[in-house]
Amino acid sequence: MSAQWLSLQSFQQGQELLEAINNVSIHAKLQRNGVASQNGERPKTVQQSREKIKAFLQALAPLVEQAGENDARPLLGIDLRRRQLVSSFLKAIGNPRQFHSVLFRKSISEAIRLLEADTETDQQQLIDCLADLRVLIEEHTNHDTVRILGEI
Amino acid sequence: MRAILRQSNLDLLREIEQLRAILQNRFKPTDANTLVPELIPFYQALVQACDQIHQRAVVAMSNLDFGQEDILSDVLSETQDITRLFQIYNRHFVGPLLRHQEGDRQCLKLLNWLHTRHPQTQKIPAGLSNGEFGILPAPNFPIVYSMPVSAQYGLLYLPLFFHEFGHLLYACHKQELDDLVQELQKKIAEWLGPMAQRDDRYSQTEAAKRNLVVETWYEWMQELFCDSVGFNIGGPGFIHAFSMYLRMRGRGEFQVRENELAHRASIQSLGSVFMHWPIRCIGPNFTMKRTYLRKPGELLQKC
């Protein structure tokens, strides 16, 4: 019996998160550049996207902390793809050349704080965090896509 | 870059519109091959999904109109994301509509009946596809069940859909069930723990192996839950279908090498070994009863 269900569920979570990351990132850059949004619905969508990213990071933080401990205990109550995502996150922490934002260099909680911050410096740091997170999620989602669609 | 992104989104919009036109033509009441009633909710869900992807592509195009260079990377990511999403719909969710024939009605009626029996699945549309027995159960997607073509024309393997339906039930009750599985995993971790703690490389290797076993129980429990759903709905018919399905699968289906454990989600051997479990985690109307699964130790002792 096929185990594609796992990849599709993971894909769905990944693509919703990517949509949220792109929404917040575009909004932050437009604000930084002084370009007003022409779409009245946008602030609401952006706030929902922030909430989605925040919920994702809040759920991820304890798992990353637990898996990063020296005497790592097993990750309980989460599926294979989520465990692999935690593992990818830890590898990204160990790769400062590629992942240099606050999210990977400082802490997940600091990145969560940036989601609500509005100073210019914080906004730039948030943009960097989102760019790094997007790389990680895109890699993860691509893996799901290959499982669902097959190799090109 | 901007021109490439604009063109990519235009191409995607054109493809989505083309797909919508194909679906709408297929649904014409005058067409002799028009959809059977069981597939109408699936059709509506697919059209709605097309509209949502279309809307995202339109927004991506409008973002390009801001003329800001630094958002091109975001628009690129968004365009790739919706392209992947559309590909998945194209690949897995259009087929059940375009391939359907009168002979599908037996399976579709059963699937629709299953979905209507649970409050959280009654509004989720189901479709049928050719392929190995399986399901694509992600919330917000229409649900596609698959079955080998020859099996669709008999009754023998129909109860295997009950197992697949279990995956959907799990997705609908994910948090509740994940909490239960977590309790069981904690118990297993305790049982597997060493009698004495040492601080050397051997102990670390053994601990890593134990972690792998404990974590893999998540996927096993989901499969076992699905078996219990199948058994509860189908009774002996499910056992018979399952044993007929497994009997010639060969050694590879029943043994998993240790190094493959972390990459394999399903394990059919457990399903057959533990099939006799009188797990009553769902009631006659599929209402969750936590009490049985709340006692994981008791559950394991019954194996």
Task: Among B134, B215, B262, select the one facing A2 at the smallest CB separation.
Answer: B134
Task: Among A9, A72, A148, select the one facing B88 at the smallest CB separation.
Answer: A148
CA distance B89 to B54: 13
Binned at pLDDT 50, 70 and 90, residue B29 comes out as low
Contacts of B146 in chain A (CB under 8 A): 2
pLDDT tens profile B114-150: 999 999 999 999 999 988 899 988 878 899 999 998 8
For chain B, which residues make up each domain, given as ranges? Answer: 1-99, 172-301
Range of the domain at A51: 4-149
**CB distance from A1 to chain B under 8 Å?**
yes
- Mean pLDDT lowest for which of A41-45, A65-69, B208-212, B231-235? A41-45
Q: Residues B39, B97: contact at Cβ < 8 Å?
A: yes
Share of chain B above pLDDT 90, in %: 49
pLDDT tens profile B46-64: 999 999 999 999 999 999 9
**CB distance from A147 to chain B under 8 Å?**
no
CA torsion, ordered B203, B209, B212, B213, to nearest 10 deg: -110
Contacts of A30 in chain B (CB under 8 A): 66, 68, 71
Between A22 and A147, the more confident residue is A22
Burial class (CB in 10 A: 0-12, 13-18, 19+), B33: exposed
Q: Is the interface score ipTM higher than 0.95? A: no
Residue B89's pLDDT is: 93
Cβ distance B178 to A77 less than 8 Å, yes or no, reads yes
Binned at pLDDT 50, 70 and 90, residue B200 comes out as confident
* Closest-CA distance of chain B to residue A74, Å: 5
Pick from A11, A76, A145 the residue to mutate for testing the B interface (most B CBs within 10 Å).
Answer: A76
Cβ distance A8 to B141 less than 8 Å, yes or no, reads yes
**CB distance from A70 to chain B under 8 Å?**
no
Share of chain A above pLDDT 90, in %: 66
What does the DSSP 8-state code read for residue B151?
G
**CB distance from A5 to chain B under 8 Å?**
yes
- For residues A71-91, b (16+ Cβ closer than 10 Å) or e, as one string? eeebbbbbbbbbbebbeebbe
The helix or strand, by DSSP H or E, that contains position B129, with its residue range, turns out to be strand B126-130
Query: CA nearest B136 in A: which residue?
Result: A5
pLDDT tens profile A92-138: 999 999 999 999 999 999 999 999 887 888 999 999 999 999 999 99
Query: CA nearest A12 in B: which residue?
Result: B138
Share of chain A above pLDDT 70, in %: 91
Residue B281's pLDDT is: 42
**CB distance from A79 to chain B under 8 Å?**
yes
Tokens of B138: 């992600």
CATH of the domain at A108: 1.20.120
Overall pTM surpassing 0.90 (yes/no): no
Pairing of strands B126-130, B143-147: parallel
CA distance A116 to A101: 17
Cβ distance A149 to B68 less than 8 Å, yes or no, reads no
Tokens of A23: 């929404």
pLDDT above 50 for A148: yes
Cβ distance B139 to A15 less than 8 Å, yes or no, reads no
pLDDT (average), residues B275-294: 41
Average pLDDT in chain B: 82
Closest CA to A137 of A80, A67, A88: A88
Cβ distance B264 to A3 less than 8 Å, yes or no, reads yes
CA distance B242 to B160: 7
pLDDT (average), residues A22-30: 93
- Count up the domains in chain A and report the number: 1
